[in-house]
Structure 1
Amino acid sequence: MSTVKNPPEPGRRMVSPNFITEIIDADLEAGRYAGVVTRFPPEPNGYAHLGHAIASYINFGIAHDYGGRCCLRFDDTNPETEKQEYVDSIIEDMRWLGWQWGETSYASNYFEELYRMALSLIERGLAYVDSVSPEEMARLRGSVDKPGTPSPYRERSVQENLELFARMRAGEFPNGAHVLRAKIDLASPNMKLRDPVLYRIVHAEHYRTGSRWCIYPSYDFAQATTDALDGVTHSLCSLEFVDNRAVYDWLMEHLWEGIRDQQRAERPQQDQQRAGRPYQYEFGRRSLEYTVVSKRKLRKLVAGGYVRGWDDPRMPTLAGQRRRGVTPEAIRAFASQVGISRTNRTVDIGLLEHAIRDDLNRRAPRVMAVTRPLKVVLTNLPDGHEETLHLAYWPHDVVQESPDGLVALPDGRRVRPEEATRAVPFTRELYIERDDFAPQPPPGFKRLTPGGTVRLRGAGIVRCDGYQTDDAGEVVELSCTLLGEGASAKGVIHWVSASRALRAEFRLYDRLFSVPHPEAEAKEHEEEEAEGGAVPLQEERDFLSFLNPKSLEVTHGYVEPSVAADPADTRYQFERMGYFWRDPVDSRPEALVFNRIVTLKDAWGKESERQTPKAERPKAPKAEHPHDAPDPTRTSARPFTAEQQERLERLKAQGVGEAEALVLAREPRLEAYLSEAARHGKIGPLASWVVNDLGSAIREEQVRVAPAQLAALLRLLEEGSINTRIAKDVLAEAQQGGEDPVAIVERKGLRQLSDAGALEPVVERVLAANPDKVAAYRAGKTGLMGFFVGQVMRETQGQANPQLLQELLSRKLAVNDES
């Protein structure tokens, strides 16, 4: 069975080639696996959000591309926060996205097997019950500069550990009294390997197993073991778990053989197809501007009443996006454009909005609605005048792009373009948008003014002869004349019949936060206020300080009557207003409620331009219609111009990744910086650093690292003189202080030790100091490679070239004792 409902055309990949697919290609070519099995393992402690959509796209997409399968497994090992409600919602969200899988898996299905695996570790002296407090355990673990100290309980006998662990399961001890820890290496430079916790006591009702268990496996223990039990080959996770990989490998080194033998006995036919154990691989995490995705913060928004529930259309949850009217196809297109890389990055929310607009442009028929009505009386038409106009649903560009020459009606039927029309009543009294009339127009205003003319979409040109106001001076009615064919007007506005239009409520949703990075902004403001002594002790500033007060505006107006006969899930483009659909919860035929899915253009970009000094503003290109004038500042949410499309294709042809190319094609400043840097280095690697590490500084014209300096720094990285961590730290320091990054490397002596002659004696000293571990490695415990790497890194203060170090260690450890 395919992992995807309505998959792309045969031969077309869902996930662009990347470093993970290169690993999979090599594994399949070497015969390590007969097929590819991935997994998507959410914890059911909240609703799925856009971050989950990206991660699920990667896992289900890769499984699709290789003809494999993806397992949906719930990592339900924390009974205090997990609910069936969240399981049901995540399953609904995954099906809505179009993913298909077999039987849903749960970590809780395997509790008994995991318990037996823990017993086997205890029996082999590889795990022990520890009884120190959490605070004492943290202290005994040491620090990055100081090795850990053994717990006084680390050398308990196997029998005592087995008895205590059995009593833990029986519920004899309170929460926190004991934990089960792996016995690995308290001196490891990787803190995760300093005897990680495998089981802890939690007296809480589990949503599936009830009170049958009061001990629960840790994340590290559950992930590796359930991956193996589910037959996963490639376990993909985000970059924050890179250090956990060592624990994953240690567990597989000691448990895989038993799991494999058990599976062969239980399912011999199936397991003949499985070749090897699973391995973990990490990709860079993606965060999104103008929102938060931390489940704790999302729960705070819901519990505090800042939003109307998990499915509030302003929320980044998939339930919220679905209620807003976003389609699964748009979410999948967005996830595809985000792509996979080795580094974390923040995604411009314009990329999501562009994907939504691009999807709706070909999906949403055009109709008219007035959200803030102002009455217009056509005084030269008789009372009761009414005629029916037949207006097209689709503009010429959509018709021209149709692959079969047909276009859709709201009910889904495809017809010839000339048949795709709706009946629109035109009457003596109309409504127009209040903002489309100005008694005292500002310069450049090209809509309706006293004595001025404007074209009513599809109906003709009118002239405003006068207007009436109420006691407060508010304009309440316009008196106009419908002019003949010889009239002219510069502007075009939309309208509806005052007597025939349907009343409706319009919910104008916008971005939930007023700043791109609300969490970072909150921290920055806290630090600034703390320096000035202005932070109240009782109330620290947090992300809620940056909620957008205009994230929801509710208006009442009218929509043309043709929508009454359309399916309830029809998406529309309300001309000049944005994309809308009926709220699936609150809208009723007699009381219509429309949610704005997304604006037609990036209004936030326009606000940015208004705040730019006049002399610095770029000129907007001349538009065919004044109300369609493009936004010159924030282009990330607009369809590509011909020039941008050409730039995009050129960048991709030069080797720039698709996600970076999409940003660069729309941002001339970033592209100009990259072009200059590419004169001194390779454009592909440079593009990622320009977009992800220097993008904000370049946009704000505050970059202090010259293009040639960035290229020189990346040359050091490419030749192995420094590693990625050093490069990022140095770049940040250079941007802050203005010093040449290469000079910082030299001044601080940060070059990696890449001389085999200098590194070899260090390797030999480490091996000579650990003969027992050398013997164990040569006996088959290859997971000890991480220990040796860590010891050498400690000796060299982290400056050993990792690739050279691996080669030297592999060569030295391969030599038998006799030689």
Structure 2
Amino acid sequence: MKIQKKIKKNFIYHIIDQDLSKNKNLKIHTRFPPEPNGHLHIGHAKSIFLNFSIAKFYKGKCNLRFDDTNPTKENVKFISSIKKDILWLGFVWNDDIKFSSQYFSLLYKFAVQLIKKNLAYVDQLTKKQIRDYRGTLKKPGKKSPYRSRSIKENLYLFKQMKKGLIPEGHACLRAKIDMESPFIIMRDPVLYRILYCKHHQTLNYWCIYPMYDFAHCIADTLENITHSLCTLEFQENKHLYNWILNNIDINVKNRPYQYEFSPLKLEYNVLSKRKLQMLVDKKIVNGWNDPRMPTISGLRKKGYTPDSIIKFCEKVGVTKQNNLIQLSTLESCIRKELNETSPRIMAILNPIKIIIENLPECYMEIINIPNHPNKPEMGNRKIIFSKEIYIDKFDFCEYPSKEYKRLSIGKTVKLRYGYNITATAIKKNQFNNIEYITCTYDPHTIKNNLYIKKYVGIIHWISIKNTISAKFKIYKKLFYIQNPELKKNFLDYINTNTLNIKTGFVEKSIMMNLSIRRYQFEREGYFYLCCSILKDNFLTFNQIVTLKKNKQKNILSTNHL
């Protein structure tokens, strides 16, 4: 994990500094508490970065605790994926992994405490009735008819719930707080519900499960968490967080406090596990790790690096202000890294054949070129120049405009690192499609020669004798509107053309070192080698990110000889 030595402190760091000034013996302890009901997304990366960075900066601890209080939606495969994502990002949790379920016995005892203090009761309203009785922001709630039950009756019914003698949905345990509170969360929130479902950790031992708000604050306390950090949607929940800890008998040295920060919102994406699950269930994407998904596993499969995601988290910062982050901010982080670290190579995504007339059939010239134009330490590689080569079909135009700066009949272009070629004729098949283009080459125009003939632009190319077949997966934005999170029917705004698979060629030199997975394909963008094994005689690449537009324009200038 790479964290800046001189970290830019946000408001949470300032809160911790103040706490330490009052208590120099305070040992900072944070936690990351995901629910194992899906893969982590880029928003979770921000929370991971914040919690683990704070622990490292203050030489404290950070726990990984799974909030596993709802077995109907949770799965051990999600536990595995979450652990993998955190480790891949470069973070390591302290001590053993925690589970909220390991505290179920204690949580039950604390619930009984609240009943005995007449601060909790067993309610038998339906879910809909509870929702209706709760009221609105403008209208106060209404007390349940079961709210006045005796302590003895509530203790009996809660034990009946625990023994599995009450059907699911027929009873729940609610806190007895204030049905007229301005905070809806405080209008007798549900603390326990009945779920006849096998739990991935406790199996069938329990049939009543605590709600997140009840379990979370107690787990924080039991683990000696000093700063419980969460996003702004839990701001009102802080009132319940504090109420529970104020009303149970729990002995702690340092009580935890909750602090909120703005959640990450990324344009052209949804960052809700519920909504991401819908994309998976409806087969709009091919699973949680689809490269079109804003999940950490999806970004990893697309070709993003841990450092690029950490840099992104550093860049967006931590505030209390809600902002929609531009997708280009994330893309710039991986682009900047790969510009420095990825070797260059030539790939043809839309091949069209060029036959060079003034070369013999057997001609083959070896040209030595750099793997990176600005990093000689990355070495050189050899490419082949021969009679037959491939260029991209978009680098040729049969009927060009005056502004067209690539190959056309009678026009001259320079092959990247190679010779000037001039198009002379077009050969078409019976369907009027171009079969190949004939050209001549100027032997005096290779790099470093004194005589350089004028040309209209520079294009990339590959000799037919120097190719490996490849498939290229080009991904587009999953949504065609900037902020689909705001739409109730967000699936109506799905981009239906998000994956384009092209078949072409890459340089054969790529087979020399298949441990290298990320490349800049000249003039095309940055690509990730999905699998180093030839499948059906093809290598497969995912496009990570495009080149900058200005870079694509500059590639045609004489500065890129």
Please say whether Structure 1 and Structure 2 have the same fold, judged by a TM-score greater than 0.5: yes
Equivalent pair of 2:531/2:539 in contact (CA under 8 Å) = no
Alignment partner of 1:626: what SS? Answer: coil
Q: Residue 457 of structure 1: which of 408, 416, 430 is its match? A: 416
Whether 1:446 aligns to 2:419 is no
Write the distance in 2 (CA, Å) between the matches of 1:469 and 1:493: 22
Q: Secondary structure of the residue that 2:505 maps to in structure 1?
A: strand
Indicate whether 1:551 and 2:504 are aligned.
Answer: no
1:144 is the counterpart of 2:137: yes
> Residue type matched to 1:591 in 2?
F
C-alpha distance 352-197 of structure 1, shift in aligned 2 (>3 A): same
Report the Cα distance in structure 1 between the residues aligned to 2:318 and 2:117, rounded to whole angstroms: 40
Relative contact order, CA 8 A, sep 6+: which one is greater? 2
| Matched position secondary structure for 2:141 | coil
Partner of 1:423: 382
Quick one: which of 234, 242, 257 aligns to 1:241? 234
Q: Could you tell me which residue of structure 2 aligns to residue 318 of structure 1?
A: 296
Q: 2:364 aligns with which of 380, 386, 392?
A: 386
**1:628 and 1:250 mapped to 2: Cα distance?**
70
Structure with higher helix content: 1
> For each residue in 1:757-806, what CA deviation from the matched residue of structure 2 results, as whole angstroms up to 9, or x when unmatched?
xxxxxxxxxxxxxxxxxxxxxxxxxxxxxxxxxxxxxxxxxxxxxxxxxx
How is 1:582-597 mapped onto 2 (pairs within 5 angstroms)?
Answer: 582-584=529-531, 588=535, 590-597=537-544
> Conserved in 1, the CA contact under 8 Å of 2:528 and 2:543?
yes
Q: Are residues 1:492 and 2:458 paired?
A: yes
Counterpart of 2:333, as a letter, is A
The 8 Å contact of residues 569 and 581 in structure 1, kept in 2 or not, is answered as no
Residue in 1 that maps onto 2:518: 571
Please, which moves more after superposition, 139-148 or 485-494? 139-148
1:294 Cα offset (Å):
2.0
What secondary structure does 1:556 align onto? Answer: strand
Contact 2:347 2:507 in 1 (8 A): yes
1:612-658 CA deviation, whole Å, 9 max, x = no partner? xxxxxxxx8996443799xxxxxxxxxxxxxxxxxxxxxxxxxxxxx
Q: Which residue of 2 aligns with 1:307?
A: 285
Among the aligned pairs, what percent are the same residue?
A: 41
Q: Any residues of structure 2 matched to 1:167-186 within 5 Å, and which?
A: 167-186=160-179
* Mapped pair 1:481 → 2:443: no
Rounded to whole Å, the distance in 1 between the matches of 2:552 and 2:471 is: 34
- Cα distance in 1 for partners of 2:552, 2:288 equals 43
Q: Does the CA-based 8 Å contact 1:33-1:233 persist in structure 2?
A: no
Q: Which amino acid aligns with 1:359?
A: E
For 1:41 and 1:8, the matched residues in 2 are separated by: 21
The CA distance in 2 between the partners of 1:43 and 1:259, in whole Å, is 26
Alpha-carbon distance between aligned partners in 1 of 2:288 and 2:90, rounded to the nearest angstrom: 21
**Mapped contact 1:571–1:580 kept (Cα < 8 A):** yes
| 1:50-449 mapped onto 2 (5 Å cutoff) | 50-102=42-94, 103-255=96-248, 257-260=249-252, 275-396=253-374, 399=375, 407-408=377-378, 420-449=379-408
3-state DSSP of counterpart to 1:305:
coil
| Selected match of 2:3 from 2, 8, 17 | 8
Asked if structure 2 preserves the Cα contact closer than 8 Å seen for 1:564 and 1:589, the reply is no
CA contact (8 A) 1:122 1:161 kept: yes
Quote the residue 1:600 is aligned against.
547
Contact 1:128–1:161 (CA under 8 A) maintained in structure 2: yes
Alignment match, 1:561: 508
Q: Residue type of the partner of 1:583?
A: C
TM score, norm. by length of structure 1: 0.65
Name the CA shift for 1:627/1:225 in 2 (closer, same or farther; >3 Å). Answer: farther
Q: Which deviations, in whole Å up to 9, do the C-alpha atoms of 1:496-541 show, x marking residues without a partner? A: 1112211111111222222212343x55xxxxxxxxxxxxxxxxxx
> Whole-Å Cα distance in 2 between the matches of residues 320 and 217 of structure 1?
32
The equivalent position to 1:508 in structure 2, one of 453, 460, 474, is 474
Displacement of 1:562: 0.6
Q: Distance in 2 between matches of 1:34 and 1:298?
A: 39
User: What pairs up with 1:718-737 in 2 under 5 angstroms?
Assistant: none
Assess, with a 3 A threshold, how the Cα gap between structure 1 residues 90 and 192 changes in structure 2: closer, same or farther: same
Q: Give per-residue Cα distances to partners, 1:8-53, cap 9 Å, x unaligned.
A: 36x422xx22221111110011007622111111111111111111
Structure 1 460/383 Cα, relative in aligned 2: closer, same or farther at 3 Å?
same
1: CA distance, partners of 2:534 / 2:155: 61
CA deviation profile, 1:349-407 (whole Å, cap 9, x unmatched): 010011110111111100100011010111111111112111101123xx3xxxxxx73
- Corresponding residue of 2:448: none
Number of residue pairs matched? 551
User: CA separation of 1:546/1:476 partners in 2, compared to 1, >3 Å: closer, same or farther?
Assistant: farther
TM-superposed deviation, 1:75: 0.6
Residue identity opposite 1:325 in structure 2: G
Retained in 2: the 8 A contact 1:33–1:276? no
Contact 1:576 1:627 in 2 (8 A): no
Do the aligned partners of 2:231 and 2:262 also contact (CA within 8 Å) in 1? yes
Paired residue secondary structure (2:466): coil
CA shift for structure 1 position 550: 3.1
Separation in 2 of the partners of 1:166 and 1:194? 24
What is aligned with 1:761? none
Deviation at 1:426, TM superposition (A): 1.6
Structure 2 match to 1:41 = 33
Is the 1:568–1:582 contact (alpha carbons within 8 Å) kept by the matching residues of 2?
no
Query: How far off its partner does 1:344 sit?
Result: 1.6
Q: CA deviation at 1:546?
A: 2.4
User: What secondary structure does 1:362 align onto?
Assistant: helix
Give the C-alpha shift of residue 93 in structure 1.
Answer: 0.7
More strand by share: 2
The CA RMSD measured in Å over matched residues stands at 2.1
| Letter in structure 1 aligned against 2:146 | Y
Deviation at 1:259, TM superposition (A): 3.8
SS in 2 for 1:592: strand
Q: 1:135 to 1:544 in 2, by over 3 A?
A: closer
* CA separation of 1:144 and 1:586: change in aligned 2, threshold 3 A: farther
Indicate how the Cα distance of structure 1 residues 167 and 33 shifts in structure 2: closer, same or farther if over 3 A, else same.
farther
The alpha carbon displacement at 1:147 in A equals: 3.1
Q: 1:628 to 1:187 in 2, by over 3 A?
A: farther
- Cα distance change of structure 1 residues 344 and 570 upon mapping to structure 2, 3 Å threshold: same
Quick one: which amino acid aligns to residue 342 of structure 1? K
Q: Report how far residue 106 of structure 1 moved.
A: 0.8
Deviations 1:329-353 (A, max 9, x none): 1111111111111122211101001
Cα–Cα, structure 1 residues 307 and 470, in superposed 2: closer, same or farther, change >3 Å? same
- For the 8 Å contact 2:30–2:63, the answer to whether it is kept is yes
Distance 1:547 1:193 in 2: 37
1:323, 1:584 within 8 Å by CA — same for their partners in 2?
no
Please tell me the residue identity of whatever aligns with 1:8.
I
Q: Map Cα deviations across residues 564-600 of structure 1 (whole Å, 9 max, x no partner).
A: 0213442100000010121149854942111111111
